[in-house]
A and B are shown apart, each in its own frame.
Chain A
Amino acid sequence: MVERIRREFRKRDLCYLGALLLLPLIWPDPHLHHLLVLAGIYAILALGLSLFLGYAGQISLGHAAFFGIGAYTTAILTTRYSVPTFVAFWASAATAAVIAYLIGRPILKLKGYFLALATLGFGEIFLVMVRESRSLTGGVSGIFGIPWFSLAGFSFDTYLKQYYLIWGVLLGLLLFAKNLVRSKVGRASLAVATSEDAASTVGIKVAQVKVGVFVVSAAFAGFAGSLFACVMSTASPEAFGLSLSILIVMMVIVGGMGNLYGPIVAAIFLTWLLDILGGYQEYSLPIYGVILILLLIFFPEGIGTRLGIRLMYLISYRGRKKKREEVQL
């Protein structure tokens, strides 16, 4: 087991892991913990979308719907049927995956803009269904009073506990995603992303690969949605609209496509940025827009791409600067 973990995670990864474990303990600020909880949820969502967008080269503007399906599954099961949150958590991912499979078969035959429009339409259909199925989903009012996530009688009822829960789940899913992209399916999806025609000529079942990655990606969103419902204690249609889908796509693009760490870095960065900008009140949105444009201009490959090299460059630049100053003196 230890050997396997060692194989999966290099020294650099273990440093990141150590930092994540220690960060909330060094900085015992509930607001920071809460922000990291949100960032972790978005990171799970973005990680899933990254598999579909970055590795399989497909676009989805309806991922907020899978996130919503996860949240509503947990909300309905826990509040109406008193199902334990741990069971609801798995049921959320399974429901999102099944729905993704059912809609993925027909819509993944589409490509490019058409696929984007189809997924966008799916997101809107989901919202209409949620608003209209009042007896099940609470309609426009939503569902309230969703219990905290709990496991074997242990309730994750503080931000610190939720932080470790969500980042633990994220770590598990990251491990799974790393294995997936190195597997036969992962290599096939990369081939599909490069050229569907070329991939099919070498015997890759393009449709199957696309649906498979879509289903996995939706399951990730289902997990994230379940955790979101438990953290927010509510599930309402406003939270799962187009703006969330765009935010998640933005996290994948800003973080760097075809890179599993990128969306996580972007999720942390954008969550933190939005929180900081809140103080600028009505100017927050224009400032946010300008920052995103600048990021896309200066980091077209994503801020999470070659993260280690960037950090090393920054450290060495400071070192070089210090040396230059010493020489000048």
Chain B
Amino acid sequence: MKGFRRHTIMVLSLSIILLLLWTYPISSAEKAPYKIGVNLGLTGPYAEVCKTLKMAMVMEVERINARGGVNGHPLELVIEDNGFDLGRAAANMTKFARDKEILVVVGPFEDNFQATTRAIAERDGIINIIFCPSNPMVRALKQRWSFNIAQSDILVSQKLVDLCLARGYKKVLVFPGNWPLAQSLAEYLKRFGEEKGIKVIISKETHKPGDIDMTPQLIKLKPTIEAEKVDALYASTGGPAGPIICKNMRTLGITIPVLGTHAFGFGFYIKLGGEAMEGVEFPAGKPVVPYQLDKDDTVRPMIIAFDQRMKARYKVGADQLSGHSYDVIWLLHNALERCKGKVTRAKLRDALENTKEFKGCTGVYNYSSTDHDGLSKKDLVFIRIQGQRFVRVKFPKFE
């Protein structure tokens, strides 16, 4: 009897151990990964920008996986370079769409490729998350499977109008770049500005992203600035063109205030522009000034924590771009957690569309069937470059 009992205990113990061994991998990261396709121009003119996006995504995915993944499923990034080529961006998209394990595709970053990848997303039924949807025609496409990250050109322009009103600017001259984001920012400023009684003059002089000297255009604009008694010049641009405009303006003796886009909120702007950047004001995302946000700001703790992780790993702080990457990964994490049963592309799309009050680096996301942008004007802050650093500026009626 004693032997029988001992035998039973041993069998039961072995069964429990075997059961635990069998169930352990399922409850941890041994489950099939949730794959995320990433379609970025890691070579080509936007390579540096796209590398920042990639770095932050990799870091956050590793962090999630170290915590046991999403309901035990690790996340896996499948990254493809599109080389800033429309054909390759489309080919990557079809490659991801074909692989049924890939639930969602992030990117491309480039404006004009987005219409094609969105069309593929709609046709093949795969989620496409777009980083900077600035092309008004692309934005106008009401689509089921596409979601946007980052503030839209509409929000940025509305916030800039607030900045003009706060500063009392009545006349603004816009010097736009010749790419979709720069153009649409200029047009929206004119539209929203004129609704509030601000005269907005869009210059016919434009510039390209690679222009290294804007003096010829600014010489042509100088008589307009003087004749029209313009209150401020809005440099509707991004990349190195911003600091170059500021430097050239100061060299030509144009002293009117400069307004910038949210793309001015990167450290290299101050490094490139130096003294010429002093006094430039612009609306931007909260990651530009993480430590100057209000103590009760709901997104402050996560931006600060993210900034510290970025510094620890890559020796660079968080910025708006890496903030977008954070938002993509954690929005997906949040939506995946809410999916019940086996996660499919359709379930994930529905979960993503039902995202409410999700706190990301860029702001608080609220997606719905009619709004795939998610953010609001409240998610932007006013910034001034002062003493070679970004300083948050507050205006009582506007923020």
Contact = CB atoms under 8 A, between A and B. Distances in A.
A141 B136 contact: yes
Interface stretch (B94-102, B156-164, B249-257, B316-324): B94-102
A237 B83 CA distance: 16
Interface string B164-186: 00000000000000111001100
B183 A139 contact: yes
Given A233-B115, A282-B43, A29 B83 contact: no
B350 interface: no
Contacts of A13: none
Interface residues of A, number: 35
Interface string B7-47: 00000000000000000000000000000000000111001
Interface string B112-143: 11011001000010000000000111100100
Contacts, number: 110
B86 A238 contact: yes
A279 B80 contact: yes
A270 to B, nearest CB: 11
Nearest to B123: A157
Tell me which of A35, A233, A271, A278 has the highest count of chain B C-beta atoms within 10 A of its own C-beta: A278
A226 to B, nearest CB: 15
Contact of B116 (A159, A233, A278, A282): A233
A236 interface: yes
Contacts of A282: 42-43, 47, 51, 81
A282 B119 CA distance: 26
B97 A30 contact: yes
B42 A236 contact: no
A280 B79 CA distance: 8
Given A139-B183, A234-B115, A236-B112, A31 B91 contact: yes
11 contacts: A30-B97, A34-B90, A35-B94, A141-B184, A144-B141, A233-B116, A234-B119, A236-B86, A275-B91, A282-B51, A284-B83
Interface of B: 42-44, 47, 51, 54, 79-88, 90-92, 94-95, 97-98, 110-113, 115-116, 119, 124, 135-138, 141, 178-180, 183-184
Given A140-B112, A236-B86, A239-B86, 19 more contacts: A30-B97, A30-B124, A31-B91, A31-B97, A138-B137, A140-B178, A141-B112, A141-B135, A141-B137, A141-B138, A159-B94, A239-B87, A274-B88, A275-B92, A279-B81, A280-B81, A282-B42, A282-B43, A285-B83
Interface of A: 29-31, 34-35, 38, 42, 131, 138-142, 144-145, 159, 232-234, 236-239, 243, 271, 274-275, 277-282, 284-285
